[in-house]
Amino acid sequence: MFLQKDDLGSTMYGYQMDQITEGNDDIIDIAMAAAEEEVRSYLEPNNKIEWQDGRLRYDADAVLSAVGAARNALILKHAITVAKWWIVDLSSADIIYEQAKERYDRSTDWLKQLASGEVNLSTLPTLSPEDLENDRPPFSFGSRKKFNHE
């Protein structure tokens, strides 16, 4: 997994996690898996034509399969924030709920900007045009044959 339980220590205290999850590590694992999937949803292109507008397409598999120091620090920090949100969603025990929500909103807004091409990360692996399955041009133009009454 891209996220590890120890990573969450940079955003919440261990006693807070234990209090919210009642010591059940399965809840933390589910939150981290959900966070990874949410981050992946921002990084992977969909089948809409807008994705063929020339913006960078990040290799989500390569980004989220990195381990240890090879992980992109900014993506890691946003993924941790998203995971924290999924844990805090269970309870607001000793955590300021509004602060967690505001940080989550900020992280997802940034990930949306990354997905739309408003911001780019030069350190993330990208897909080359050869890697893309759909070679369809982003748009086409033309007209029907001219109609004559002869």
pLDDT in tens, 75-103: 999 999 999 988 888 765 555 677 888 88
At 46 the pLDDT is 67
Give domain status of residue 147, yes or no. no
Q: Outline where the chain has alpha helix (H).
A: 14-21, 25-43, 60-65, 73-88, 97-116
The reported pTM is 0.69
Mean of the per-residue pLDDT values for the chain?
Answer: 83
On whether the CB atoms of residues 44 and 60 are closer than 8 A, the answer is yes
Range of the domain at 39: 5-129
Give domain status of residue 137, yes or no. no
Give domain status of residue 141, yes or no. no
Give domain status of residue 98, yes or no. yes
- Per the structure, the count of domains in the chain is 1
